Chain A
C-alpha cells in the first residue's frame, strides 16, 4: 500500500507546554487508521495539524511523497482532506445547507447561490451516510438541532467534500447506535473507493472492528503503531489505560494490572 500522508518527527508546543513530542506515522492510501489514547493524549492536536488549522512547532508533513512546506487549511482542502472536528465547527445561526456549503457554495458564474441544488444534496447525504433521526428540513438552523443531529451535519459536510482523506475526531460521541453503525460501515466502504480515513475514538471495540491499523498516543508520544492482525482489543486497552508500560507488560504475557 502506498503512503498518502506521512508525519515525520512532529512536535507541538503551546508556550512552555509540549503537547506532541516527535510523533511520526504514515497513512496508506485507502487505509483506515485508528488514533487512540487517553484524554489529553494529543489526538485532537494531531488531527488539527493534519487538517492544517494548527501549525506544528517542528516536523515534516509529507503528502504523496512530497513535503508540504506551509501547511494551511486551504492547502489541505486542495488535496481533498476533510475533517470532522471534535467540537463540530458549525455556525449555529446558519441553516444546515448553508453550513455544509459555507465557503464552498454551489453558485452560478456570478457567485449567486443555487439553494435548491444545495438543499437536494444535503437531503441526499443526510439520508444516506448518516442515518440520523429527527431532522425535518435542510433549512433548519443548526442551533435548533440536537447534539447528535449537529454532529451528523458535520459528518455530512466532511463526507461530501472529502476526496482523499477523511479525518474523524470522535465522530460518534453523540450518535445513537444506528447512526454509529451507518458511519462505521461507511468507513469500511470508503476503502474500496481508495479514500483513507483516520478515526479518533474512545470506543476501542469500534476502532478494532473497522481500523486496519492502530496508533496509540500517550502524553504526546506515540507508544504503539500496529496492524489489526498484530494486536487485540485487550492490548489496545492496556496501551490506552497504562501507556507504554501496559504495552510492555501485555507483550510479556502478564495480565492487566
Chain B
C-alpha cells in the first residue's frame, strides 16, 4: 500500500472531547474515594453497614442491661458467635462462589454429614491431621461429582444437586450406620482442640480459620484470574466462551472450591461437636445459600463478593443470637430470622440497580 490514503471525514470536525485519562483520580485520597464509589451497589458495602448498625445496637443494649441481654458476655462471644459464624461463613463463601459461577449446590448439608463421618472415622484410625486431609479430599470429590453431573447433562444444578443430596445422606448412613459417629477416647488431642475449637476467652480458634480462609478466598475471587473467569462465566457464558474461557471447566472449578470449603467447615464442625449423626446437618444448605444471597450474591450468577458472603453469614447468626438473648420463644426465632433474611435479600436486590 504505497499510496497515502486520505483520511475519512464524515462531517466537520467536532470540538475536542473530554478524555477519559483526564478524569482519572490523581491523589491517593481521590483514588480511595473513586474505589469506594465503585463499591456501591455490589452488596458488600451496604450489608456491612446494616450489620454494623445491628452490632452497635446489640452492644449498646448489652452495656445498658448486661444481665438481661448478655451479648458482650465472653461466653456468648466465644461460645456462640465465634463458634457458629465461622462454620456458616465458610460454607457461604463456597456456596456464594458457586452462585457467582451461575450454579447451586443443594447437597451442602448432606455433604457435611458425609465429611463429618469421614473426619471422625479417619481420626479414630489415623489421627486428626490425616482426617483433615481426607475430609477436604472427600468434600472436593463429592462436589466435583455433583459438578460433573451438572455440566455434562445440562440438568439445572438445582434439581441435580437436590437429588444428590439424598444420595450423599444415603452414602453417609451406608458408611457409618445409624448410630452417631463419635471420637474414640484420646483421639481429640489437645493440639487438635486448640487448633480447631480452642477457647481463647472472647473468641475461639474457628475465627482464625475464617480470617485465613476469607482472605485467601477474597484474593482468589477478586484479585486472581481464576476469580475473574468465575465472574465472566456466571455473568455471560457465551461472551466468556468467545474469549476462550471454558465455561464447563470454570463451573467445575467452582464446584471443587465449594468442596474445599465444605471439607474445612465440616472438620471445624465435628471438632467442636465431637459427633456426627448423618441426616442432621441438612439445614446448613439453605442457611449457606441464604447467607450468600443476604451478602449480595445474585441468584442468576455474575454478582457477589467474599466480604458480602461472610457478613451475610454473620448477620443471620447475630440476629438469631440476639433473638435468643432477648428470650424470644423458639418459634419467634424462626419467624424473625425468616423475615430478616427476606428483607436483606430484597434490600440487596434493590441495591443491585444502583451499581455503577
**Within B295-345, which residues are at the interface with A (CB < 8 Å)?**
298, 302-303
State whether A53 and B224 are in contact (beta carbons under 8 Å apart), knowing that A91-B302, A95-B38 are contacts in the complex.
no
The interface residues of chain B lying within 8 Å CB-to-CB of A51 are 242
A interface residue count range (under 10 / 10 to 19 / 20 to 34 / 35 or more): 35 or more
The interface residues of chain B lying within 8 Å CB-to-CB of A185 are 7-8
B154 within 8 A of A: no
Residue of B nearest to A122 (CB): B20
Proximity bits, B221-250, A CB within 8 Å = 1, else 0? 001111011011011101111111100000
State whether A91 and B11 are in contact (beta carbons under 8 Å apart), knowing that A73-B244, A111-B226, A137-B38 are contacts in the complex.
no
A79 within 8 A of B: no
A27 within 8 A of B: no
A191 within 8 A of B: yes
Structural contact, A131 and B231, CB atoms closer than 8 A:
no
DSSP class of B's interface residues: helix, strand, loop or mixed?
Answer: loop
Structural contact, B236 and A30, CB atoms closer than 8 A:
no
Proximity bits, A102-114, B CB within 8 Å = 1, else 0? 1111010001110
- Show the binding face of B for A, using Cβ within 8 Å: 1, 5, 7-11, 14, 17-21, 23-24, 34-35, 38, 219, 223-226, 228-229, 231-232, 234-236, 238-245, 298, 302-303, 355-356
Between A and B, 27 residue pairs with Cβ closer than 8 Å are A51-B242, A53-B241, A53-B242, A73-B241, A73-B242, A77-B243, A91-B236, A91-B240, A92-B235, A93-B302, A93-B303, A94-B228, A94-B302, A98-B228, A102-B240, A103-B229, A105-B228, A111-B224, A111-B225, A127-B19, A127-B21, A133-B17, A136-B23, A137-B23, A141-B356, A184-B8, A188-B8
A245 within 8 A of B: no
Structural contact, A85 and B242, CB atoms closer than 8 A:
yes
Structural contact, A144 and B219, CB atoms closer than 8 A:
no
The interface residues of chain A lying within 8 Å CB-to-CB of B18 are 133
Q: Of A15-23, A174-182, A216-224, which binds chain B?
A: A174-182
Q: A51–B1 Cα gap in the complex (Å)?
A: 26
Q: Which of A74, A123, A143 is in CB contact (< 8 Å) with B20?
A: A123
A249 within 8 A of B: no
The interface residues of chain B lying within 8 Å CB-to-CB of A94 are 228, 231-232, 235, 302
The interface residues of chain B lying within 8 Å CB-to-CB of A73 are 241-244
Q: A89–B223 Cα gap in the complex (Å)?
A: 23
